[in-house]
Amino acid sequence: MTTTFSPSRMVEELRRRSLRPTTRPGPELISLAAGDPDFPTPEHISQALTDALAAGATHYAQPQGDPELRSALAEQMTEVAGRTIGPSQVAVTHGASGALSATILGLIDAGTRVIIPGPTYSLYADLTWMAGGEVVFVRHQPDLHLDLEGIEAAARDARMVIICNPCNPTGAVYTQDELEDLADIAEEHDLLVVSDEPYDHIVFDGSDFVSALEVPGLADRLLYVNTFSKTYAMTGWRIGWVAGPQAVVDAVTTMHRAFNGPLNSAVQRAALAALTEPTDAPERMRREYQARRDIVSRMVGNVSGLELVEPEGSFYAFIRYGSLEPEVSSVDVVARALEQGVAIRPGSEFGPGGEGFVRVAFSTGRERLIEGMERVLGILEEIAEAE
Ligand SMILES: Cc1ncc(COP(=O)(O)O)c(C=O)c1O
């Protein structure tokens, strides 16, 4: 007998509200859509996985994460923060995605207001909705940096603000002043601040990246999220982490244990090698992204009617081709690009304020990037002229 089945209300609600894409482009397309580095994972990390398996790392790990890995992460963060972060304040998770879900589901109740400055990574809103929280979008300023006044105005009765730095999809890298001002607002309104920083090693033009870890005013209220996915080209390994004040991380860890239990033991040993063995791989990848960013900026700059706030970090360019209510929606632009064999992402996927933009990822080699960009710019130029 076949069983009758209907998805849970949470799934229905998620399908109805989510802005996230449900499909991935096939290999026949030039993909300028993926948040996935086109570089291989460095050899010594893969070797460390093989070695770990041979050494018997095939059983349950500790639910909060491999103690040695947590110590290495804590040490690294302590150095960046200039204050002690202990291994017990770290939970190792299934990528930044796992860190974000445990954090939001562990800290947000039904009706709780969560401020999401955007356009930004769409998972934050989905998770907040799943938790029953209320998403309060605050649009970035025209230069795609934080609208601190807007955040302050939304802060009353809110519990959390979630920033992405460097920002996916805008490429903005927030300044120390911006983060300090955010810390003042958070202090005044007693907000928890989640800072999701997967692209912290991909920053351009020699500028220094300031992590939220370095802002003393955030120390008591920061949930710091990061991942091995982008820095070490390890998206498929599914390993990231979250760190913060002890009591808060304890709550997050309870949620992580309930949802996931311990992570893959051998992968955690390989992540330890990524962190501790000297390598120039992240810097080599960063240099290549910088060269590609320069190509994309130059190409967009040659097309009238388009605007690009030059990405300061990440591997995304957020190209403006129209108003917030354009004649041709960003979803339609994506469809036209697909007809021409190129995958890109619509600005509307990244929340209010994203319409009139498309996101191009330069996680593709130069030759295909240039070919794909030529086709996309041809489409955008035509639309921008008609706008
Ligand atoms: C801003 C941001 N946060 C989190 C993630 C998810 O990272 P992970 O693969 O580690 O789950 C991504 C992936 O694209 C991202 O861009």
Per-residue burial over 319-330, b if 16 or more Cβ lie within 10 Å, else e, is bbbbeeebebbb
The CB of 164 under 6 Å from ligand 1? The reply is yes
Q: pTM (2 decimals)?
A: 0.95
Residues constituting the chain: 387
Strand blocks (E) in the chain: 30-31, 90-93, 113-118, 134-139, 158-164, 192-196, 222-227, 240-243, 307-308, 316-320, 342-343, 345-346, 357-361
pLDDT of residue 279: 97
Q: Give pLDDT tens digits along the chain (387 positions).
A: 777 788 888 888 888 888 776 666 666 799 999 999 999 999 999 999 999 999 999 999 999 999 999 999 999 999 999 999 999 999 999 999 999 999 999 999 999 999 999 999 999 999 999 999 999 999 999 999 999 999 999 999 999 999 999 999 999 999 999 999 999 999 999 999 999 999 999 999 998 899 999 999 999 999 999 999 999 999 999 999 999 999 999 999 999 999 999 999 999 999 999 999 999 999 999 999 999 999 999 999 999 999 999 999 999 999 999 998 999 999 999 999 999 999 999 999 999 999 999 999 999 999 999 999 999 999 999 998 887
CA dihedral 301, 305, 311, 316 (to 10 degrees): -110
The CB of 170 under 6 Å from ligand 1? The reply is no
The CB of 119 under 6 Å from ligand 1? The reply is no
Q: Whose CA is nearest to atom 13 of ligand 1?
A: 35
Q: How far apart (Å, rounded) are the C-alpha atoms in residues 145 and 138?
A: 11
The CB of 35 under 6 Å from ligand 1? The reply is yes
The CB of 121 under 6 Å from ligand 1? The reply is yes
Pocket test for ligand 1, best of 104, 120, 122, 168 (most atoms within 8 A of CB): 168
Q: How far apart (Å, rounded) are the C-alpha atoms in residues 41 and 37?
A: 9
Span from the CA of 4 to the centroid of ligand 1 (angstroms): 35
Strand blocks (E) in 244-379: 307-308, 316-320, 342-343, 345-346, 357-361
291-294 contacts at long range (C-beta below 8 A, 24 or more positions apart): 291/366, 292/362, 292/366, 292/369, 293/171, 293/204, 293/317, 293/362
pLDDT of residue 26: 62
The atom number, within ligand 1, closest to the CA of 98 reads: 11
Work out whether the CA dihedral 27, 124, 315, 77 comes out positive or negative. Answer: negative
The CB of 376 under 6 Å from ligand 1? The reply is no
Span from the CA of 103 to the centroid of ligand 1 (angstroms): 14
Span from the CA of 304 to the centroid of ligand 1 (angstroms): 32
Span from the CA of 317 to the centroid of ligand 1 (angstroms): 16
Identify which of 139, 135, 134 has the alpha carbon closest to the alpha carbon of residue 151: 139
Please give the radius of gyration of the chain, using alpha carbons only, rounded to the nearest integer. 21
Q: How far apart (Å, rounded) are the C-alpha atoms in residues 39 and 28?
A: 19
